[in-house]
Amino acid sequence: MKKRTGVFVCHCGINIAGTVDVKNVAEELMKHSNVAHSEDYVYMCSDPGQKLIENSIKEHSLDSVVIACCSPNLHETTFRNCAKAAGINEFQCEIANIREQCSWVHKDKLKATEKAKKITHSTVERVVKNKSLEPISIPVTRRGLVIGGGIAGIQAALDMANSGYEVVLVEKSPSIGGHMIQLSETFPTLDCSQCILTPKMVEVSKHPKIKLLTYSEVQEITGYVGNFKAKILKKPTYVDPTKCTLCDECIDVCPIVVPNEFDLGLTGRKAIYIPFPQAIPATFTLDIANCPGLLPIACGKCMDVCEPEAINYDMKPEIIEEEIGSIVLATGYDLYDKENMKEYGYGKYADVLDGLQFERLLSASGPTMGEVLRPSDHKVPKEVVFIQCVGSRDPELHCAYCSKICCMYTAKHAMLYKHHVPDGQAYIFYIDIRSGGKDYEEFVQRAKEEDGLVYLRGKVSKIFEENGKITVWGADTLAGKDIEINADMVVLATAMRPAKGAEEFAKKLKISLDKDGFLSEAHPKLKPVESVTSGLFFAGAAQAPKDIPEAVAQASGAASKAIIILSQDQLFHSPMVAKVSLNLCTGCGMCVDVCPYDSLSLKDNKAEVNEVLCEGCGTCSATCLRAAIEVKNITPVQIYEMIDASVGG
Amino acid sequence: MAEEFEPKIIAFLCKWCSSAGSDLAGVSRMKYPPNVVPITVMCSGSVSPLYIFNAFQKGADGVLVSGCHPGDCHYIQGNFYARRRIALVKELIEYIGLEPQRFKMSWVSAAEGKKYTQIIQEFVQELKPLGPQKKLRREK
Identify the CATH number of the domain in which residue B37 sits. Answer: 3.40.50.960
Count CB atoms within 10 A of the CB of residue A422. 9
- CB-based contact A510 B76, cutoff 8 Å: yes
- Residues 6+ positions from B20 with CB-CB distance below 8 Å: A73, B110
Residue A241 lies in a domain: no
Query: Domain range for residue B38?
Result: 9-128
Q: Are A37 and A159 within one domain?
A: no
Q: State which amino acid sits at residue A81.
A: N
CB A116 within 8 A of CB A102: yes
Give the phi and the psi of residue A4 in degrees, each rounded to 5. Answer: -115, 95
B49-61 pLDDT, tens digit per residue, is: 999 999 999 999 9
A524 and A581 housed in the same domain? no
* Minimum-distance CB partner of A106 among B34, B40, B73: B34
Of A524, A623, A631, the CB nearest to B81: A623
Nearest residue on chain B to A534, alpha-carbon basis: B74
More confident residue, A341 or A536: A536
Q: Do B8 and A648 touch (CB under 8 A)?
A: yes
- The domain boundary, picked from A134, A154, A182, lies at A134
pLDDT: which is higher, B69 or B127: B127
Of A104, A618, A640, the CB nearest to B41: A618
Give pLDDT, residue B140: 65
Q: Are the Cβ atoms of B34 and A108 closer than 8 angstroms? A: yes
Q: Are residues A191 and A322 in the same domain?
A: yes
Q: How far is B108 from chain A (nearest CA, A)?
A: 14
Whether residue B46 is contained in a domain is answered as yes
Q: Judge whether B3 lies within some domain.
A: no
3-state secondary structure of B40: strand
Which residue segment(s) compose the domain that A83 sits in? 5-134
B41 vs A644: CB contact, 8 Å cut-off? no
Contacts 24+ apart (CB under 8 A), A191-194: A192/A364, A194/A278, A194/A363, A194/A365
In a domain, B1, yes or no: no
* Residue in B with minimal Cα distance to A577: B42
Last residue of some domain: A107, A134, A161?
Answer: A134
Query: Does residue B88 lie in a domain region?
Result: yes
Residue B13 lies in a domain: yes
Three-state secondary structure call for residue A281: coil
* Cis peptide leading into residue B100 (ω within 30°): no
Asked if A57 and A65 touch (Cβ cutoff 8 Å), the reply is yes
Residues A483 and A413 in one domain: yes
Kindly identify which residue of chain B lies nearest to residue A629, measuring between CA atoms: B46
* Residues A75-84, mean pLDDT to the nearest whole number: 96
Q: Higher model confidence: residue A368 or residue B139?
A: A368
pLDDT digits (tens, 9 = 90+) for A553-576: 999 999 999 999 999 999 998 999
Alpha carbon distance A79, A94 (integer Å): 8
Please write the tens of the pLDDT for every residue from A196-215.
999 999 999 999 999 999 99
Q: CA torsion angle for A512, A514, A520, A523 (degrees, to 10)?
A: -120
Domain identity same for A122 and A154? no
Q: A420-458 pLDDT, tens per residue?
A: 999 999 999 999 999 999 999 999 999 999 999 999 999
B58, closest residue in chain A (CA to CA): A644
Measured from the Cβ of residue A572, the count of other Cβ atoms closer than 10 Å reads 12
CATH number, domain with residue A203: 3.50.50.60
* pLDDT tens-place string over residues A19-31: 999 999 999 999 9
CB within 8 Å: A618 and B85: no
Picking from A104, A114, A634, the nearest residue to B29 by CB comes out as A104
Q: Are the Cβ atoms of A647 and B58 closer than 8 angstroms?
A: yes
Burial of A297 (0-12, 13-18, 19+ CB in 10 A): exposed
Contact predicate A153/A539, CB 8 Å: yes
Do A126 and A152 have their domain in common? no
Residue A517 and residue A333 in contact, taking contact as beta carbons nearer than 8 Å: no
A477 vs A124: CA distance, rounded Å:
63
Q: Closest Cα of chain A to B8: distance in Å?
A: 7
Residue A313 falls inside a structural domain: no
Name the helix (H) or strand (E) containing A40.
Answer: strand A35-41
Q: Is the dihedral of CA A241, A244, A247, A250 positive or negative?
A: negative
Q: Is residue B100 classed exposed, middle or buried when 0-12, 13-18 and 19+ CB atoms within 10 A define those classes?
A: exposed
Q: A596 and A523 in one domain?
A: no
In chain B, what is the straight-line distance between the N-terminal and C-terminal CA atoms, in Å? 29
Going by C-beta distance under 8 Å and a sequence separation of 6 or more, which residues neighbour residue A204?
A: A149, A154, A157, A158, A169, A176, A210, A212, A280
Q: Specify whether A550 is located in the same domain as A592.
A: no
Q: Are A535 and A329 in contact (CB under 8 A)?
A: no
- Asked whether residue B135 is assigned to any structural domain, the reply reads no
Mutual orientation of helices B113-127 and B18-27 as an angle, nearest 10°? Answer: 100
d(CA A496, CA A67): 46
Residues of B within 8 A of A634 (CB-CB) are 41-42, 46
CA distances from B12 to A123, A338, A639, B18 (A): 14, 46, 10, 9
Residue at which a domain ends, from A444, A471, A497 = A497
Asked if A505 and A584 sit in the same domain, the reply is no
A563 dihedral zone (left: phi>0; alpha: psi -120 to 50; beta): alpha
Q: B51 to chain A: nearest residue by CA?
A: A640
Residue B99 CA to residue B60 CA, distance in Å, equals 13
Report residue B139's pLDDT band, with 50, 70 and 90 as the boundaries.
confident
pLDDT > 70: percent of chain A = 100
- Residue A648 pLDDT greater than 90, yes or no: no
Secondary structure (H, E, C), A84-97: HHCCCCHHHEEEEE
Query: Do residue B76 and residue A596 have CB atoms under 8 angstroms apart?
Result: yes
Residue A540 DSSP class: G
Residue of chain A nearest B37, judged by CA positions: A646
Query: Would the pLDDT of B1 be above 60?
Result: no
Would residue A124 count as lying in a domain?
A: yes
Min Cα separation B102/chain A (Å):
15
In a domain, B77, yes or no: yes
Measured between CA atoms, the residue of chain B closest to residue A71 is B23
Provide the mean pLDDT of chain A: 94
Tell me which chain B residue has its CA closest to the CA of residue A532: B74
Distance CA A449, CA A431 (A): 20
- Residue A273 DSSP SS3: strand
**To the nearest whole angstrom, how far is the Cα of B63 from the nearest Cα of chain A?**
11
Cβ-Cβ contacts under 8 Å, A524 against chain B:
111
CA distance A641 to chain B (A): 10
The residues, any chain, with a CB within 8 Å of residue A31's CB and separated by 6 or more, are none
Q: Which of B26, B30, B55 sits opposite A643 (nearest CB)?
A: B55
Which helix (H) or strand (E) segment holds residue A253: the answer is: helix A249-253
How do A210-213 and A166-170 pair as beta strands? parallel
Q: Chain A: give the shortest CA distance to residue B98, in Å.
A: 18
Whether residue A310 lies inside any domain: the answer is no
Contact state of A105 with B26 under an 8 Å Cβ cutoff: yes
Q: Which residue of B has its CA nearest to A515?
A: B111
Distance from CA of A6 to the nearest CA of B (A): 20
> Do both A125 and A256 map to the same domain?
no
> Would you state the pLDDT for residue A525?
86
- The answer on pLDDT for A224 being more than 90 is no
- C-alpha radius of gyration, chain B, whole number: 15
CA proximity to B124, closest of B11, B2, B1, B3: B11
What CATH number has the domain bearing residue A62? 3.40.50
Q: Give the pLDDT confidence score for residue B75 in this predicted structure.
A: 80
Whether residue B29 is contained in a domain is answered as yes
Residues of A in contact with B75 (CB under 8 A): 596-597, 615, 617, 619
Q: Do A101 and B26 touch (CB under 8 A)?
A: yes
Alpha-carbon gap, residue A68 to A97, rounded angstroms: 6
Closest C-alpha among A325, A352, A354 to residue A337: A354
In chain B, DSSP assigns E strands to 9-14, 36-41, 62-67, 103-107
Task: Please state the domain count of chain A.
Answer: 5
Q: Using CB atoms within 10 A of its CB, is residue A5 exposed (0-12), middle (13-18) or buried (19+)?
A: buried
**End-to-end C-alpha distance for chain A, whole angstroms:** 27
pLDDT in tens, B68-78: 888 778 787 77
Q: How far apart are CA A156 and CA A169, in angstroms?
A: 9
Q: Check B43 against A646: CB less than 8 A apart.
A: no
Confidence of residue A222 (pLDDT cuts 50, 70, 90): confident
Residues of B in contact with A512 (CB under 8 A): 71-72
The Cα-based distances of A48 to A52, A53, A72, A108, A391 in angstroms read 6, 9, 20, 30, 55
Which of B15, B46, B54, B84 would you mutate first to test chain A, the one with the most A CBs within 10 A? B46
